[in-house]
Amino acid sequence: MNPENGNISKDQAEVLARLRAKEAGAEPPAEPQPGVPTAWVSVEKREGVIHARYAGKMTLEMVEKAAKRIRELLTEDRSARILYDTRQMEEPGRELTRRMLEFDEEIRPRVAKAATLAPNMMVEAQARAAFVNSPEHQFFHELVAALDWLRS
């Protein structure tokens, strides 16, 4: 497969994303160990895109931590591009979905485009509910496709 034309596998895309993060000086959290439940959020700006990664069972406190960091990285104009990577996240539940809806309403005037990577239909359905009022929010299952759309 040829990574230069965007024709790469999901595993290759993950490796590429990790390499880009490492080059940018932002090492993602360590991989979860078998049998040890973990959850984390990571928010950083790379190549003009705010990457918000969520893994494990989210709590309201973790979602608020990510929201605070996203706010810090937003510009005042409507130029921000955000990637919500939820591929490693467990189903968030209604309370967190409702909180993300509120957060989206708050930041929408400062966001040009946003994309969500979802691991399955249940997480995607809740993400669609959270971002229902954002016409420039798209949903993807492949990292490369999401990044290409955000950068277009």
In a domain, 13, yes or no: no
> What is the residue range of 108's domain?
40-151
Question: Which band of pLDDT confidence, cut at 50, 70 and 90, is reported for residue 22?
Answer: low
Question: What CATH number corresponds to the domain at position 102?
Answer: 3.30.750.24
In a domain, 16, yes or no: no
- For residue 23, being part of any structural domain is answered with no
Examine residue 22 and state whether it is found in any structural domain, yes or no: no
Q: Looking at the whole model, is its pTM more than 0.85?
A: no
In a domain, 11, yes or no: no
Q: Which helix (H) or strand (E) holds 72?
A: helix 60-73
Residue 152, pLDDT > 70, answer yes
Q: Is 43 left (phi over 0), alpha (psi -120 to 50) or beta?
A: beta
* 49-56: strand order across its sheet: 40-46, 49-56, 80-89, 111-117, 137-140
Residues 33-67 pLDDT 10s = 565 548 999 999 999 999 999 999 999 999 999 99
- Please report whether residue 106 resides in a domain: yes
Q: Is the pLDDT of residue 139 over 90?
A: yes
**Residue 69 included in any domain:** yes
Q: In the chain, how many domains are there? A: 1
- Is residue 28 situated within a structural domain? no
Query: In the numeric block, which tokens belong to residue 135?
Result: 């016409």
The C-alpha torsion from 55 through 60 and 62 to 65, rounded to 10°, is: 140
Q: Which helix (H) or strand (E) holds 15?
A: helix 10-23
The CA distance from 11 to 62, in Å, is: 26
Q: For the chain, how are helix, strand and coil distributed in percent, rounded to 5?
A: 45, 25, 30
